[in-house]
Structure 1
Amino acid sequence: MNRVAESRTLRLINVRPRPGNPAQGLLVAGNLVLRCALGKGGISAFKREGDGATPLGPMRLLYGWHRQRRGLAAFSPLPFHAVRRDDGWCDAPDDRNYNRPVHAPYRASHENLWRKDGLYDICIVLDWNIRPRKRGCGSAIFFHLARPGYLPTEGCIALKRGDMARLLPHIDQRTVIRVLR
């Protein structure tokens, strides 16, 4: 069966590593099983800034950014903001805005959310290390679009565009992504 779920909103999405390739995973959403990219450091129960690992455990979907004119976000009940060229996300553990959105140019290290490669055309913030926030325990853990070939992320979970489009109508702020080993 190739349907997402009988109900309108998914409450739980499970992600497991693919056998033999810890930087790729299988995302299970209802009856749908999708290939996904994971962090180049595999999955870790002890996530640290810069380790490239996807955190082990449950993470709620908070809200997202979308690149206007590239579609998709309009089809989700999850709150989305249009990404602007100056949107960023601080990844400097010693900065007061660590693991928070910022506006570029920003004095500390940060991820740019406006990207030429399209990975953040849809970018959903996961609640990893948001509240409470611990310095150095990982930042910018997102659910976003995958590179061709499902190349590894820096710790995020990524789907190809078509698969993300299939999921968006079924996810909201009550949806939890649970990363398993």
Structure 2
Amino acid sequence: MSDIIATSDGWLRHGARIYRCALGKGGCKPEADKREGDGATPLGRYPLRQLLYRADRLPAAPQARLPGRALMPEDGWCDDPADPAYNRHVRLPYAASHEKLWRDDPVYDVIVVLGHNDDPPIPGMGSAIFLHVARPDYSGTEGCVAMALPDLLDLLASWRPGDALQIARGDGQKP
């Protein structure tokens, strides 16, 4: 068991492997200070819960020792703190505020659901914190951690049960 460590200065490390990553456009903040819609990535240690992927865009299912399934157009994630399904998978159409997981861009072609604010979800403390595909310019996320698709697939292949994603403050130095 070893942690995957993402730092606020945009690097992710797993064992000897080092990757570039993008984090929240609102920076990183302590988990206790994370709020819905603040665009911040929560600092802390989070288990990798589930893998979701676009089977229509990948040549094969990602190699991972993680429960997973192919996304469907009706997959969504509730981000409404007042809704009972807050920070949970929902089927679209859905009446409360939600995020569509089936996107036109490739950002959600591979999603790893992180165990942030999910056991149980506390309304307003942040939802849909994922590890997903980065935009080509590594621009900031809405609070997630994002990597280039080849790097994410490589990371998933090296992940072992019990590994978690540790989001920590960086020291400003490239590893």
- Given the two structures, how large is their TM-score scaled by the length of structure 2? 0.91
Is the 1:41–1:54 Cα contact (8 Å) retained in structure 2?
yes
1:53 paired with 2:40, answer yes
Matches within 5 A, 1:31-70: 31-45=16-30, 46-69=33-56, 70=58
- Output the amino acid matched with 1:16: T
CA offset at residue 14 of structure 1? Answer: 0.8
Q: Identity, % of aligned pairs?
A: 46
Task: Name which of 94, 97, 121 aligns with 1:133.
Answer: 121
**Runs of at least 5 residues in structure 2 that lack an aligned partner in the other structure:** 170-175
Q: Deviations over 1:118-172 (max 9, x none)?
A: 1111101000000021110000000000001101100000000111121111124
CA RMSD of aligned residues (A): 1.2
CA offset at residue 32 of structure 1? Answer: 1.3
Is the 2:78–2:85 Cα contact (8 Å) retained in structure 1?
yes
Distance 1:135 1:109, change over 3 A: same
Other structure's SS at 2:90 match: strand
- Output the amino acid matched with 1:32: R
Matches within 5 A, 1:32-111: 32-45=17-30, 46-69=33-56, 70-71=58-59, 73-111=61-99
**Aligned residues between the structures:** 166
Matches within 5 A, 1:158-173: 158-173=146-161
Is the 1:99–1:140 Cα contact (8 Å) retained in structure 2?
yes
Other structure's SS at 1:144 match: strand
1:177 paired with 2:162, answer no
Distance 1:88 1:162, change over 3 A: same
Is the 2:2–2:15 Cα contact (8 Å) retained in structure 1?
no
User: Which runs of structure 1 show a deviation greater than 4 angstroms over 4 or more consecutive aligned residues?
Assistant: none
**Runs of at least 5 residues in structure 1 that lack an aligned partner in the other structure:** 1-9, 19-24
Other structure's SS at 2:8 match: strand
CA offset at residue 80 of structure 1? Answer: 1.1
Using the alignment, how far apart are the partners of 1:151 and 1:73 within structure 2? 26
Using the alignment, how far apart are the partners of 2:90 and 2:160 within structure 1? 24
Distance 1:72 1:154, change over 3 A: farther
- Given the two structures, how large is their TM-score scaled by the length of structure 1? 0.88
